[in-house]
Each structure stands twice: as structure tokens, then as C-alpha cells.
Structure 1
Amino acid sequence: MISEKWAVRALRVFLVVLFGVLVVFQTLSLPGGIAYHTQQNPHDAPLRWPLTAIAVFLVLCVQVVLVATWQLLTLVKKDRIFTTASLKWVDAIVWAIGAAWLVFVGMLLFVGFNADDPGMPMLLFLVTVGITVLGLLMVVMRALLRQATTLRSDMEAVI
């Protein structure tokens, strides 16, 4: 079985790689791809900047989750994960997921009322449900972390 030490190291490596790839997407790929699409489809030209802003914002939400995860890993390494310091990073994850959820709900409503084909609304619905599950899972995990933090501080007070 992989030890916690190796898992934390490997996760940190992949967090850095993922963050780097997201920066490339955020600054080059997504704006360039959206610009190309609007050049090829002039009827979509008014959507270029709103779509670019939405795409960059959603990538920013993922980056917030990655930074918060890095900070939580630091607390794990220092054996301080069950302290109040960890709660603010979990809250950052919950807020980032909540912001992304709001954007996807808005896109689902906009596309759902304007689409001719059910494919894109169904895809947006699937992603929205997935983000909902992830957000609710994080709320439950935050409650468990809060309980564990309280129990640990109570145990330290007794000892």
C-alpha cells in the first residue's frame, strides 16, 4: 500500500502539473479557441467575450481548489490537519465549487431555453449535477473535519 508520505508527494507533483496546464488553457487555449470559433461562425461573434470570461472564471475556480488542496496537504504534512487552520481552506474549496455551480446553472438555463438540440443542455445538466454532488460532498467533509477538529482539541485538553 502507498504510504501517506508518498501519496502527498505524488499528489503535489500532479497538482503542479495540473495548475500549469490550466494556466496554459486559461491564457492561450480557451481564449484562442473561442476566438477561432467566433471567426468561423460569425453568428456566434457576440458570445466571444462572455464565453471567454466564463471559461477563464471556471478555470480560476479549479485553480482555487488546487491551491487550497496544496495548503491542506501542507497541514497534513505538519500533522495540523485537525486544526481550525484547515477549515478556511476547505471553505475556499466549497466557495469555489459554489461559484462554478452558479455559472453552470446560469449556462444551463440560458442554453436550455435557447437550444434547438437537447445535446448541449443535457451535457450542461450532467456537469451541473456532478458539481452539485461534489459541492455537497465537500460540505459533508467540512462537517466531518469540524467534528474531528473539535474531538482532537478536546483530547488535547484532557491530556
Structure 2
Amino acid sequence: MMWEQRVVVPLKICLVGLFGILLVFQTLSLPGQFRYMAEQHPEDADQRWPLTAIAVFLVLCVQVVVVATWKLLGLVSADRIFTRDSLVWVDVILGAIGAAWLVVLAIFLWVGFHADDPGAPMLLLLILASGTVLGLLMVVMRALLRQATVLRTDMEGVI
């Protein structure tokens, strides 16, 4: 058994756990937190639903990445990672990262223009920079996967 195969099962277990935690946050914790904030600060109660929708959307983006990673692990298990099927799932990951990045950028700009304290904009800038690095890293990984796929296809043609 290759070492990659030994990592797939524990990683899938971790992905199931992560997906479950995200689901709890998405359906219970985040809506409850924003409801509580609206009760404690009635002057900001009009922000409850937009903030809930944004938070749920961002969690959904992470869930999409988890599902796409699961699918890629299935391709690894089947020794089909170097096929065009894998590129589709990497594109899904890139789309989710891009969508989340755009939402965080919009939040950063809104908070940046309305903040009295630099703490929140700085935190959002850190999240934005991390998302940028992650997205660009995925672009590089996609290019490497594409090159490996082409090389494997060529090698299979020779054999």
C-alpha cells in the first residue's frame, strides 16, 4: 500500500468531522449568535439578517472546498488523480475560494470606511491576504496537476 493511501482514510474522517462542525455553525451557532447580538444591541438589529447570510455563505464556501477535497481523495484512492476529472474539482475549489475572497473584500471595504478602530480592518486584511495566498497557491497547484496529467497521458500513450 502506498503512503498516500494510508493518509486518505484519516483525512476523510477529518473532513467528515469538519463538515459536521461547519454544518452546526451554519445552522445553529451563527444564526443564534447574530440573534443574540440583535437582542443585546437593538440599534444594530437591522444588520442581523445580512450578517447571518454573509456568514452562512462563507461557511458554505468552506463546505464546497471540503466536498471537492473529498472527491479528489476519491480520485487518489482510485489512482485517477492525474486525469481531467481532478481538474474539475480543483476548479470548484478555486471558485469557492474566489467567491469567499470577493465577499471578504466587500466586507473589508465596508468596514474600512466605517470603522473607528483599526482592529477589525486589520483582521479582515489578514483574512484577505491569507485568502489571496491560498487562491494563488491553488492556481499553481492546478497548473502542476495539469502538467502531471499531460505527462501521464503522454506516458500511457507511449506504453
Query: So what's the TM-score if we normalise by structure 1?
Result: 0.98
Q: For 1:1-16, what aligned pairs fall within 5 Å after superposition?
A: 3-16=3-16
Q: Which residue of 1 aligns with 2:114?
A: 114
Pair 1:56-2:76 in alignment:
no
Q: For 1:1-159, what aligned pairs fall within 5 Å after superposition?
A: 3-159=3-159
1:31 is paired with a residue of what secondary structure? helix
Shift in Å, 1:42: 1.2
Shift in Å, 1:3: 2.6
Quote the RMSD (CA, aligned, Å): 0.9
> Distance between the aligned counterparts of 1:101 and 1:155, measured in 2?
38
> Distance between the aligned counterparts of 2:144 and 2:71, measured in 1?
18
What is the identity, as a one-letter code, of the residue corresponding to 2:18?
L
Counting aligned pairs with the same residue, the percent is 68
> Distance between the aligned counterparts of 1:118 and 1:111, measured in 2?
10
Count of matched residue positions in the alignment of Structure 1 and Structure 2: 158
Q: Which consecutive unaligned segments of at least 5 residues does structure 1 have? A: none
What is the identity, as a one-letter code, of the residue corresponding to 1:77?
S
Query: So what's the TM-score if we normalise by structure 2?
Result: 0.98
2:117 is paired with a residue of what secondary structure? coil
1:45-93 Cα distance to aligned partner (Å, 9 max, x none):
1110100000000000000000000000000000000000000000000
> Distance between the aligned counterparts of 1:42 and 1:137, measured in 2?
42
1:92-142 Cα distance to aligned partner (Å, 9 max, x none):
000000000000000000000000000000000000000000000001100
